[in-house]
Amino acid sequence: MAQLVNPDLVRERSRASFDAEKLTAVLYGGPDEVTRKRRIEALALKDPDYTHEDLSYLCREDQYVAMLKKSLMAARKVRELGLSERDRDSYMDFLLDWRAGAVNLHRTMFTITLQQQGNQEQRAKWLKLAEDFSILGSYLQTEMGHGTFLRGLETTATYDPSTQEFVLHSPTLTATKWWPGGLGLTVTHGVVMAQLYTQGRCMGPHMFILQLRSLDNHKPLPGITVGDIGPKYGCNDGDNGFLRFHQVRIPRDNMLMRFAQVAEDGTYSMVLDPRLIYGTMVSMRVRLTEQSNFALARAVTIAVRYSCVRHQSELTPGEPEPQILEYQTQQFKLFPHLAAAYAFWFTVQTLQTHYEQVNSRLQEGDTSGLQEVHALSAGLKAFTSLAAHRGIDECRLACGGHGYSHASGLIYLLTSQAVIVTGEGEATVMLLQLARYLVKCYAKSQAGAKLPSTVSYLQTVQSAAVSGVAARDLNNFDVLTEAYQHRAARLVKVAAEGVRFKVVSEGQSESDAWNNCLVSLVKCAEAHSQFFVVKTFVEALRRVDVDDSARATLTSLCQLYALHGICEQAGDFLQHGFLTGPDLPLARSQMCSLLSKVRSDAVPLVDAFDFHDQTLQSVLGRYDGRVYEHLYQWAKKSPLNKDQVHESYYRYLQPFLQQNRAKL
């Protein structure tokens, strides 16, 4: 098949310094995992039953219908194939990607919430129905007027002991549930977060499960007004919806009661530590961090391959036009994001391991480590989603005019990634959640308390900037890690002491002091998150089993990620004295030298991500590099090309032109 591949990509792959297949095994956890991945991927992507028109050429309603049909067919086939739970999830991920919000939200937030927050009887009643897709559910938290701030939610669930029912109600317009995926047209049930009122007291937000639509004709049940919220920036094949309750009654045992209960007489009691409720949030944030990583890796794959196929201008007069990846400016646009994709890949693996360890203890009621992983996942979800969004857009821009076409696949990635930046916790709010945890840990460190592993560096915050040091070896991993640790520690110290100063010395209230330090607090959370990424990347390189050539390439990527961050945030590193003025030009010089090192292996590095062409959904990023032939064929499929003369000519253009000609 080599003759069918663009010669530029054949040449790029032939000069690789390492075996891309072996690096793929490292990324996915071993050869057996790669085999499993490809087996499930083939089942999902090579099934002709899933073939449908390019969604770019469909109106919104037809997009929704196409993806609903595809997702429901997938739900049926996973049962027929007899896949394990893990393989079933992989199958659905490969097939649906971010699309088909109804089924995706059903099998994540809806089902996970039932698993983690329902008591034994409720799980027995509802889980089988959900897992067999006998019902379809959504997760109804966000309202028109409130999102991340759960205590501000306005939907009420008031207990009536005379009937042993809860009455769900939307008391204001802003209490309308807004944005839940699949709610507009698809789901039959929902898990609803509402303010629980019993015996005249508000007990805060709690979860309730209820049926929303008839199982006979799918019409909304009495008291429920529901619909689609309209077109969005992206993900328009999904039916994000709105919903209002008007005195809707549900049985008492529809309140998810694993952690708290309301007795028949209305008495409220806690059953388990209420902090256990955060397990569902953390699991979703870990998943979204992984999605951000994959999105950035896909965008870089598309842009790097296209940059090797695209030839433009002259480097040397009279010579053939070079690949645009030969230009240092193109390398500078793309390779830091390639390095970030690898850094995030290892970071996600570490975060997943950390979460799984904490979650296993949570199932036994042990909350140790929950605050740490809750804060860490919040920060990394925000940090990686923002970085991925910026990176995807820069990859789009690096592809020139063709990057603006839906054929590139980059528009889809960009608009889908924008959802992750905001969804399940807006980025700034998430960073501030991490910042609050960091400030508390800093205060504990000052009191001599032992800190969890991810923040233990705060126990050694230096009281003054480092000064008078000799020139540093900025290619040394220990130096780079120490630089990021020093930056994070100092910024946490500045933020924490800034809040304290405004309270103690200026007499501000805690809330005013916090608000007046928000910029510093966000900055310290970003610094902590980036330190964790750098540290994790370095530790991964010291741990992974690869040959010398692959290790050298990964080392260059790790150095590039760290040095690029130093150059981007030079003020932080200089202000706190870890680096001095002469260090900065050296950092920039070494960063540019690394660009040329990464250049020779750029295509094998993106090949190692092992993204199937159907996963990339990109004409520009095809594995065979036959961009121009397929771009032409893609354009010809446009419905506007169905007839040589479009009907609008006869209705509008012809009369207009004839009228103007008659005046001549």
From the list 254, 359, 283, the residue with the least C-alpha distance to 112 is: 283
Map tokens 């379809």 to a residue: 136
Catalytic residue chosen out of the listed positions 41, 143, 394, 424? 424
Separation CA 373–CA 282 (nearest Å): 7
Count CB neighbours of 448 within 10 A. Answer: 7
| Residues near 10 by beta carbon (within 8 Å), at least 6 away in sequence | 2
Separation CA 579–CA 326 (nearest Å): 31
| Helix (H) or strand (E) segment spanning residue 299 | helix 278-309
Separation CA 104–CA 281 (nearest Å): 16
Query: In this structure, what is the dihedral angle of CA atoms 350, 353, 356, 358, given to the nearest 10 degrees?
Result: -70
| Helix (H) or strand (E) segment spanning residue 419 | helix 410-422
List C-alpha distances in Å: 66 to 49, 405, 414.
Answer: 12, 22, 21
| Helix (H) or strand (E) segment spanning residue 261 | strand 260-262
Length of the chain: 664
Residue 144: phi, psi to the nearest 5? -55, -35
User: How would you write 306-360 as a 3-class SS string?
Assistant: HHHHCECCCCCCCCCCCEHHHCHHHHHHHHHHHHHHHHHHHHHHHHHHHHHHHHH
Separation CA 399–CA 404 (nearest Å): 8
| Helix (H) or strand (E) segment spanning residue 573 | helix 570-575
Separation CA 253–CA 165 (nearest Å): 8
- Catalytic residue status for 53: no
From the list 64, 61, 62, the residue with the least C-alpha distance to 72 is: 64
For residue 220, what are the β-bridge partners?
213
Separation CA 138–CA 103 (nearest Å): 9
Instruction: Check: CB of residue 622 under 8 Å from CB of residue 5.
Output: no
Count CB neighbours of 367 within 10 A. Answer: 18
Residue 625: phi, psi to the nearest 5? 70, 10
Instruction: Check: CB of residue 207 under 8 Å from CB of residue 193.
Output: yes
Based on C-alpha coordinates, what's the Rg of the chain? 27
Separation CA 122–CA 209 (nearest Å): 10
| Helix (H) or strand (E) segment spanning residue 131 | helix 120-131
Active site residues: 424
